[in-house]
Amino acid sequence: MSSDDEVEEMLLKKKLMEMMKKQQQKKEEDDPVKLVRSRLYDRGDEVLDAALSQFPNETMVFVRKLAELIKKGAINEKISGSELLYILRNIGIPVSLETKITIVKDGKSMSLSDMLKEKEE
C-alpha cells in the first residue's frame, strides 16, 4: 500500500467519523425528552421522570409540544421542577412525587416517620 493510499484512507475514516458524529447530534436534537431535560433544573428531572412513569402517553404529548416551543425559541429560560409540576398539574396530569421530611436532631439526620416510631417506643 502506498503512502498516498494510506493518507486517502485516513481522510476517508476521518470524514466518516465526522458524519457519524453529526448524525448522532441530530438524533439527540430530535429527541424531545433530551431537549426538555436540557432545560430543566432544581429537581426538574425528578418531576419529568415521575410524570413519564405515571402518565407516559399524556406526558409525551406535553413533552413534544414543549420541545417544539423550545426549538422555535418561544421558551428560552430554564424550567424548575416546581414550575414543571405546576404546569403538568394545570393541564390535567396529576403527577405525584414522593415526599420525605427529614429532621436533624443531635447532629443526626432521621426521617419524620422514624422519629415518630422512636417516640412510640
pLDDT attached to residue 29: 60
103 beta partners: 110
Is pTM, for the whole model, over 0.75? no
pLDDT attached to residue 27: 62
Torsion of CA 29, 33, 35, 36, to 10 degrees: 160
15 shares its domain with 52: no
User: What is the band of 50 on the pLDDT scale with cuts at 50, 70, 90?
Assistant: very high
* pLDDT tens-digit series, residues 92-120: 999 988 887 888 878 888 888 777 887 77
Question: Where in the sequence is the domain holding 49, given as residue range(s)?
Answer: 31-120
Cβ neighbours, 10 Å, residue 109: 9
* pLDDT tens-digit series, residues 3-49: 777 888 888 888 888 888 877 766 656 788 889 898 999 888 999 99
14 shares its domain with 44: no
7 shares its domain with 42: no
Instruction: Give the separation between CA 33 and CA 70, rounded to whole angstroms.
Output: 12
Amino acid identity for residue 19 in this structure? M
The 8-class DSSP code of residue 35 comes to H
| CATH number reported for the structural domain that contains residue 101 in this entry | 1.10.8
67 shares its domain with 106: yes
